[in-house]
């Protein structure tokens, strides 16, 4: 798992994010990043292919919690892959349990983890260790409701599909 502070673009910007110490966030790492009030956030990193099995499909999960006063996350969020060589892929994800009416458009919904956090799939890739040293990830998540707040992110986790 990669910690939020290392994969969220501009996580040190105090206007949009607050880094919460482990005692407050109860996360796997010593801190978590909370979105204060912003309409989008980006996840950007390079995944070392030595950590992945060759020719295997992987899913990336965002590990998160919602604060009691979260906003802008009741409706789905658009997740857009920003890599230039990928045909622009956009998926619809949800950070809350959607109603059955909305399920047709939502590709990925959150699930409870054993550690008390939630997770939602936000990205997929295929590992090709023979050609690349790393797999780049550049993902923008945009709220349909305008600004969002109260999303507490522990990090991202990659698992074989």
At 116-139, the pLDDT tens digits run: 899 999 998 887 756 678 888 999
Give mean pLDDT, residues 98-111: 71
Q: Which residue has the higher pLDDT, 93 or 30?
A: 93
Q: Is 149 within 8 Å of 31 (Cβ atoms)?
A: no
Q: Which residue has the higher pLDDT, 61 or 17?
A: 61
Q: Where are the alpha helices (DSSP H) in the chain?
A: 4-7, 22-25
Helix (H) or strand (E) holding 66: strand 57-71
* Count of structural domains within the chain: 1
Give per-residue pLDDT as tens, 20-57.
Answer: 765 444 556 678 888 888 889 999 999 888 888 888 89
Find the domain containing 23 and state its range.
Answer: 2-160
Confidence (pLDDT) at 29:
64
Q: What is the pTM of this model?
A: 0.86
6, 8, 12, 16 alpha-carbon torsion, rounded to 10°: -160
Please calculate the CA angle 11-12-14 and round it to the nearest 5 degrees: 105
Whichever domain contains 132, its CATH number is 2.60.120
Is residue 99 pLDDT above 80, yes or no? no
pLDDT band at 158 (very low <50, low <70, confident <90, very high): very high
82, 83, 86, 90 alpha-carbon torsion, rounded to 10°: -20
pLDDT band at 115 (very low <50, low <70, confident <90, very high): confident
* Residue from 30, 12, 31, 18 nearest 149 by CA: 18
């Amino acid at each position: 798992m990669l910690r939020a502070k290392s994969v969220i673009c501009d996580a040190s910007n105090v206007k949009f994010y607050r880094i919460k110490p482990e005692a407050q966030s109860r996360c796997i790492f010593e801190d978590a990043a909370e979105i204060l009030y912003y309409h989008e956030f980006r996840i950007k990193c390079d995944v070392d292919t030595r950590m992945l099995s060759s020719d295997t499909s992987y899913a990336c999960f965002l590990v998160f919690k919602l604060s009691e006063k979260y906003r802008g996350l009741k409706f789905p969020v658009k997740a857009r892959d920003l890599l230039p060589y990928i045909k622009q892929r956009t998926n619809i994800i949800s950070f809350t349990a959607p109603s059955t009416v909305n399920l047709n458009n939502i590709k990925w919904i959150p699930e409870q983890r054993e550690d008390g956090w939630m997770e939602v799939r936000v990205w997929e890739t295929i590992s090709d260790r023979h050609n690349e040293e790393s797999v780049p990830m550049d993902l923008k998540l945009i709220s349909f409701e305008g600004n969002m707040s109260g999303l507490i992110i522990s990090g991202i986790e990659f698992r074989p599909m």
